[in-house]
Amino acid sequence: LSFPGGSGRWRVGRSTFREHGLPHELVVLTDLSRTLREEERRAWQRLVRVLGHEMNNSLAPIKSLAGSLETLLRREPMPRDWKDDAESGLKSIASRADSLSRFMQAYTRLAKLPPPQKEDVDLGELVQRVVNLEPRLKVQTVPGPKLQIHADAAQIEQVLINLVHNAVDAALETKGAVTIRWREDGDCVEVIVRDEGEGIMNPTNLFVPFFTTKPGGSGIGLTLSRQIAEAHGGTLSLANRTDRTGAEAVLRLPR
Ligand SMILES: Nc1ncnc2c1ncn2[C@@H]1O[C@H](COP(=O)(O)OP(=O)(O)O)[C@@H](O)[C@H]1O
Ligand SMILES: [Mg+2]
């Protein structure tokens, strides 16, 4: 909305009232720019915190290895196995640099999600494909109604792979089970992935890019999955179960 003397993002509220028997209309404009900027600032802060953490994890060992190698080269006389030490130090440096570059590739993938190429997809078949892709644990499929959705099959498959992967990660910790089911809800469908893991420790950071609590985790699974869900006009949520310990992910999509 823009008008003389002001432009930006505004919330418009409208109501009617009567005064002295005459109908009036009340329009209230609220400047939202400040609130939105504050939200944006917080999102950036969270992102920079996670990015910084990941970069330090690679850069700190690189610097320390470079220091040890320098000390090694200055030693007089050189220790007999200096070549082995130098070789293993350089290998570690290369591997840290590789992992940092993989991390940056993942970041690029996040920033460049293509728009969904929608087609008619049989939801039950898609779910079955995803379940068959999980070798670590037999995920139980609770059969649901036969449903067609209009969606990008590859992208939705990616979302479900991520959700099942996280559920299995959690369930393996407790030797619990994972189930997947789907249902119809008005003009939407919901796919529900439940696990019997420990549940979610801290729900605030789940969807922050690169947030992970796993040693080899990328922390982009949920962020990417939510982006895909929203690009389809749907939603993705993850919360603790209310019936027992464990987590429940709900992917909701328009049909
Ligand atoms: N089913 C789940 N149960 C408990 N915690 C979960 C579950 N799914 C996701 N999380 C938490 O959310 C974090 C981010 O998940 P994700 O974006 O998929 O990245 P990653 O799996 O690489 O860690 C995980 O590290 C974990 O702490
Ligand atoms: Mg994951």
Report the separation in Å between the CA atom of 121 and the middle of ligand 1, taken as the mean of its atom positions.
Answer: 27
- Decide: 216 in ligand 1 pocket, CB within 6 A: no
Structural tokens at position 3: 């008008």
Average pLDDT of span 223-233: 94
3-state SS record for 31-50 = ECHHHHHHHHHHHHHHHHHH
Query: Are 219 and 110 contacting, i.e. CB atoms less than 8 angstroms apart?
Result: no
- Provide the residue ranges of all domains of the chain, joining segments of one domain with +: 1-112, 119-254
Q: Which of 130, 132, 113 is nearest to 220 (CA)?
A: 113
User: At residue 131, does pLDDT exceed 90?
Assistant: yes
pLDDT score for 192: 98
Report DSSP letters for 222-250, one per residue: HHHHHHHHHHTT-EEEEEE-SSSSSEEEE
pLDDT bracket for residue 11 (50, 70, 90): confident
- Decide: 202 in ligand 1 pocket, CB within 6 A: no
Q: Which atom of ligand 1 is nearest to the CA of 170?
A: 3
- Decide: 92 in ligand 1 pocket, CB within 6 A: no
Report the separation in Å between the CA atom of 250 and the middle of ligand 1, taken as the mean of its atom positions.
Answer: 14
**Alpha-helix residue ranges (DSSP H) falling in 120-152:** 123-132
Q: How far is CA 129 from the centre of its chain?
A: 22
Angle (nearest 5°) at CA 201 between 195 and 207:
85
**Candidates 46, 198, 206: which one to mutate for ligand 1, based on the most atoms within 8 Å of Cβ?**
206
pLDDT score for 55: 85
- Decide: 237 in ligand 1 pocket, CB within 6 A: no
- Cβ burial, residue 158 (10 Å; 0-12/13-18/19+): middle
Rounded to the nearest 5°, which phi and psi values hold at 207?
-100, 15
Structural tokens at position 10: 């505004």
- Decide: 219 in ligand 1 pocket, CB within 6 A: yes
What fold is seen in the domain 119-254?
Heat Shock Protein 90 (3.30.565)
Q: Which of 179, 166, 170, 165 is nearest to 135 (CA)?
A: 165
pLDDT digits (tens, 9 = 90+) for 180-220: 999 999 999 999 999 999 999 988 889 887 788 998 787 88
pLDDT score for 241: 98
Nearest CA to ligand 1 atom 20: 219
> For residue 194, what are the contacts with CB-CB under 8 A and spacing of at least 6?
167, 178, 179, 180, 181, 241, 246, 247, 248, 249
Nearest CA to ligand 1 atom 23: 212
Nearest CA to ligand 1 atom 9: 166
Average pLDDT of span 223-250: 96
Amino acid at 215: P
pLDDT digits (tens, 9 = 90+) for 47-90: 787 778 778 888 999 999 999 999 999 999 988 999 999 999 99
**Candidates 192, 222, 228, 250: which one to mutate for ligand 1, based on the most atoms within 8 Å of Cβ?**
222
pLDDT bracket for residue 5 (50, 70, 90): low
Residues with CB under 5 A from ligand 2 (ion): 166, 221
- Starting from the CA of residue 207, give the closest ligand: 1
Query: Are 92 and 63 contacting, i.e. CB atoms less than 8 angstroms apart?
Result: no
pLDDT score for 99: 85
